[in-house]
Structure formats: structure tokens, C-alpha cells
Amino acid sequence: MKISTLSKKDVLSLMDLTTEEILSIIELATRLKQEAKNGKSNVLLKGIVLGLIFQKPSTRTRVSFETGMYQLGGSVISLNTNDIQLSRGESLEDTARSLSLYLNCLVTRLYQHEETELIAKYASIPVINGLSNLFHPCQILADLMTIQERKGKLKGLNVSWIGDGNNVCNDLILGSAKAGMNLTIACPPGYRPSKEVLAIANLEGSKSGSKLVVTDEPPVAIANADVVVTDTFISIGNDEERLIRERVFLPKYQINQQLMNLARKDAIFMHCLPAKRGQEVTSDVLDGKASVVWDEAENRLHSQKALLLLLTGAKRGA
């Protein structure tokens, strides 16, 4: 079987992927995961070099991309922005042009999404957003894979997001709409997701049958949920707002066992990590039987391997 390349070379948010492309990535990632468990090696990216250019701290994104490339036979160059000429005033445009001469693909983890878009505009190689202030597509690809594994389907499921309408939430909105999942979001006024993203999701939902609801009441959002998702409400770059955000989000938007009991009995709990235990989620939920956060973290590796294979045009035999 041959796998064709994606129709768009950059993945800056899930707006850049069609439903068919998302499902293709999940299918391939699931196959790669099973092959890895069976000890099968796939050096399909031999000779391919991936660059990682990071402004923000990273655990799962950096390690999963580096490990994935090594497992696929490729190489990785990790670039902290303080170690390259960006720190001395070289433009993003010139950096993108230069890196395109040496690399086959680039993952960025920058504070401002506009900077991610600028690098993608001037790079002649595929660019993947490894997290910006607006989007986190790699996380939601892994989340959709995890939901598919645990629930056996995506379409028609009820998903609840409780917390900040942040970058992860924005891509969950897009992913849910494209996959046909119903999503109810509970967040405080003033901390809601992007209006543009909500509008796009409503349009996508009219095609897929997905329903999107935004409320400020967590019990409303979690009722009848198959999947419960949250994230820290103090994202990277928001540390100066810590005290304000703690007053806004706590205790109302904390996921604890009492709130989880309002979801379906077989509901799963998801968190992209790192988690601030005792803030957005209590330890008994994070470590409880409903939690699939470690499957979710592992699936970052497999879904990103699938994304890299598709973006770089690697071919697989039957």
C-alpha cells in the first residue's frame, strides 16, 4: 500500500487537515504502534533530517518527536532560539530560508502563532506547529487516536472540555468538528476559545453532524460525557496572571471526582500534561481508573511518526 502526501505541506492547526487526512493519520499511527509493540522496525525516514526550533520549554513534544525520528531511521537537530542567530536579531524569514537548505521538515514551538505562520510562509519545507499561543495540533491528533482506541469510534461521542479556552482547546474544537464528535465547553467568561475557531467549527459541524456548545457551567458540560478533557489554566507565558486566574478558575472549574461522577460511568479523563495537581484536576482523578493520560502521552509518539511519514512523502509497502 502506498501512502500519499498530505494536500498541504504545513500543519499549523487542525484547520490544515481534512477529516480524511486526520483519520488517515490515526489509522497509520495505530498500525505503527502495533508494529512497535511487535518489535518491527520501520526505518522509513532514513536520510531525513528534522529540525526542532523551540522558544518554550518542552517534555513530551520534544522527546516524542526526537524518539519518533530515531525510530524511523531519521535524524534530529534541536535548536533553542537562544543558540541560533535569532537571538542576535536575524529575522524569522531569513532563518526559515536558511534552515530549509539543510532540513527536510521543521517543528516550531514559539510563543506567538503569527511567528509560526511567518516561518511557514518563508520555509520551503513542511512546518509543524509543536505549540503556539493559539493552537496545538499534534496534541489533538494524539488525543483523537487515544479516544479511538478506548471508545472504538469518534463520530457521535460526547466530549466535555472544562477550563481555559486555550490553544489545546482551540484544536480540540476543530478536531471534534471534523471527526463528528459533540463538544461542550465550560469556561469562565473572558476565557473562551477563539471566536474564529468557533465559527469554523460550527461550519464543519454542519457537515459532520457535530454539535458545539459553550457554557460557563461545568456540570452542564460534563453531563452525559464520554470523554472529559482539561488542561492547565496557567499556560506557558501566563505566569504573571497566576493569582488572577486561580481566583477565576478555582474551585468552580476544577475536575474532581464529584464532578467526574456526573459524566457517563465509562467516561475517560484526558489531560495533555503537565498537570498542576490540585488546581485544574485532583490527583484522585488524574491517577484514577478513568484516566488515560499516559496512553495519551504515549500516543504523541505514534501520531507524530504518522504525521512525519505523510508530510515527508515516505512510502510503505503492503
Catalytic residues: 109, 136, 139, 231, 272, 300
Phi-psi region of 152 (alpha: psi -120 to 50; beta: other; left: phi over 0): left
Residue 223 grid coordinates: 453531563
Residues with Cβ within 8 Å of residue 106, at least 6 apart in sequence:
50, 51, 52, 53, 96, 99, 100, 119, 123, 125, 126, 127, 128
What is the four-CA torsion angle of 219, 285, 56, 95, rounded to 10 degrees?
-80
Give the type of residue at 132.
S
Contacts of 306 (CB under 8 A, 6+ apart): 25, 26, 28, 29, 32
* Beta-ladder partners of 228: 160, 269
Secondary structure of 93-150 as H, E, C letters: HHHHHHHHCCCCEEEEECCCHHHHHHHHHHCCCCEEECCCCCCCHHHHHHHHHHHHHH
